[in-house]
Structure 1
Amino acid sequence: MECLCYENSAWSKMGSEIKVEVIHKETIIPSSPTPPHLESLSLSVFDQLQPEFYVPLLLFYPNSSNEINIDHHSLAAERSSLLKTSLSKTLTHFYPFAGKFEYNVSISCNDHGAAFLQAQVNCPISTVLEKPDHEVLKQLLPADIASTQEVAGHLLLVQANFFECGGMAIGVNISHKVGDAFTFSKFINSWAAVSFGSSASDHIVVPAVEFGVVASLCPPLDFFNSRQPIVEFAKEKSVTERFVFEASKIDALKSKAASSTVPNPTRVEVVSALIWKCATEASRSNLGSVRPSVWCQVVNMRKRSGQPLTENSLGNFVWYFASMTMESEIDLQSLVAKFRKGIEEFKEKYPNGVSPQDVCQTIQESGNLMTKDGIDNYSCSSWCRFPFYEANFGWGTPSWVSIRTMAAKNTIQLTDTRDGKGIEVSLALKEEDMAIIGSNEELLAYTSLNPAAI
Structure 2
Amino acid sequence: MNVEILSRELIKPYTSTPPSLGRYKISIVDELSPVMNVPTIFYYAADIHGSGIENGTSISRCMHLKKSLSRVLTRFYPFAGRYVKESYMVDCSDQGAEFVEAKVDIRLDEIIGQGKDLKVELLNSLLPRPIGAGDEITDPVLAIQVSFFTCGGWAIGVLSSHRIADISTTSTLIKEWAIEAKLLLGGYDENQVAVTPLWNSASLFPGQKLSGLPLGLTRAKENVEDHKIVTKKFLFSKSAISKIREKARLDKSSDRLPTRVQSLWGIIGKAIIDIYVADPEKPRGFLIIQAVNIRERTDPPIPKHQCGNLYLISTTQSVAGEKGVDFEGLVYQCTCSAKRDVEICKMLLSAGDGGRLISQGFNDLTKSLTNPEISSVSLFSDWSKFPLYEADFGWGKPVWVSSANIPLRNNVYLFSEKFGGSIEAWVNLHIDDMPKFEQDPNIMEFTT
Whether these two folds match at TM > 0.5 is yes
Match of residue 223 from structure 2: none
The whole-number CA distance in structure 2 between the counterparts of 1:231 and 1:338 is 25
- Residues 75 and 166 of structure 1 are in contact (CA less than 8 Å); yes or no, is this contact kept in structure 2? no
Distance 1:85 1:373 in 2: 53
1:280 matched to which residue of 2? 273
How many pairs are equivalent? 425
Match of 1:178 in 2: 164
CA shift, 1:433, in A, is 2.2
1:11 alignment counterpart: none
Compute the displacement of 1:80 (Å).
0.9
CA displacement at 1:163 relative to structure 2: 1.0
Shift of 1:83: 0.5
Secondary structure of 2:297's aligned partner: coil
Consecutive unaligned residues of structure 2, counting only runs of 5 or more, are: 219-225
CA RMSD for the aligned pairs?
Answer: 2.6
In 1, are the aligned partners of 2:409 and 2:429 still within 8 Å (CA)?
yes
Q: Cα deviations across residues 250-289 of structure 1 (Å, max 9, x unaligned)?
A: 1121122123278221111111100011111111224555
CA separation of 1:204/1:421 partners in 2, compared to 1, >3 Å: closer, same or farther? Answer: farther
d(CA) in 1 for partners of 2:213 and 2:416?
Answer: 35
Partner AA of 2:269 in structure 1: W
1:320 counterpart residue number: 313
Q: State TM-score, norm by structure 1.
A: 0.87
SS of aligned partner of 2:174: helix
Alignment of 1:31-430 (within 5 A): 31-65=14-48, 72-103=54-85, 105-131=88-114, 132-150=118-136, 153-197=139-183, 198-200=187-189, 203-208=192-197, 210-212=198-200, 214-222=201-209, 224=210, 231-232=215-216, 237-260=228-251, 263-286=256-279, 288-289=281-282, 291-328=284-321, 329-353=324-348, 355-364=354-363, 367-375=366-374, 376-404=376-404, 406-419=406-419, 421-430=421-430
TM-fit CA distance, 1:118: 0.8
Name stretches of at least 5 consecutive residues in structure 1 with no aligned partner.
Answer: 1-17, 449-454
> What displacement does 1:327 show?
3.5
Matches within 5 A, 1:425-444: 425-444=425-444
Question: After the TM superposition, which of the residue ranges 403-412 and 110-119 deviates more from structure 2?
Answer: 403-412
Amino acid at match of 2:169: T
Q: CA deviation at 1:389?
A: 0.5
| Contact 2:37 2:131 (C-alpha < 8 Å) held by counterparts | yes
Change in 2 beyond 3 A, CA 1:70/1:146: closer
Whole-angstrom CA distance in 1 between matches of 2:281 and 2:432? 13
Q: Secondary structure at the residue paired with 1:177?
A: coil
Give per-residue Cα distances to partners, 1:303-346, cap 9 Å, x unaligned: 22212343320011011111123241533221111122112222
* Worse overlay, 28-37 or 237-246: 237-246
Looking at structure 1, the residues matched to 39 and 50 of structure 2 have their Cα atoms a distance apart, in angstroms, of: 33
Q: 1:201 to 1:369 in 2, by over 3 A?
A: farther
Alignment CA distance shift 1:153-1:240 (3 Å): same
1:280 to 1:363, Cα distance in 2 relative to 1, 3 A: closer
CA distance 1:364–1:418, change in 2 (3 Å)? closer
- Range 432-441 or range 49-58, more displaced: 432-441
In 2, the alpha carbon distance for the partners of 1:80 and 1:254 equals: 44
SS at match of 2:332: helix
Alpha-carbon distance in 2 for matches of 1:69, 1:87: 20
Deviation digits for residues 48-98 of structure 1 (CA, Å, limit 9, x no counterpart): 111221111110101131x58988532211211110110010100110000
Q: Name the amino acid aligned to 1:269.
A: Q
In the aligned structure 1, how far is the partner of 2:79 from the partner of 2:171?
A: 13
1:169 aligned counterpart, secondary structure = strand
Distance 1:356 1:151 in 2: 26
Does the Cα contact within 8 Å between 2:52 and 2:150 map onto a contact in 1?
no
Q: d(CA) in 1 for partners of 2:9 and 2:213? A: 33
What TM-score results when the alignment is normalised by the length of structure 2? 0.88
Aligned to 1:5: none
Shift of 1:401: 0.2
Deviation (angstroms), 1:422: 1.5
Question: Are 1:236 and 1:409, in contact at CA under 8 Å, matched by a contact in 2?
Answer: no
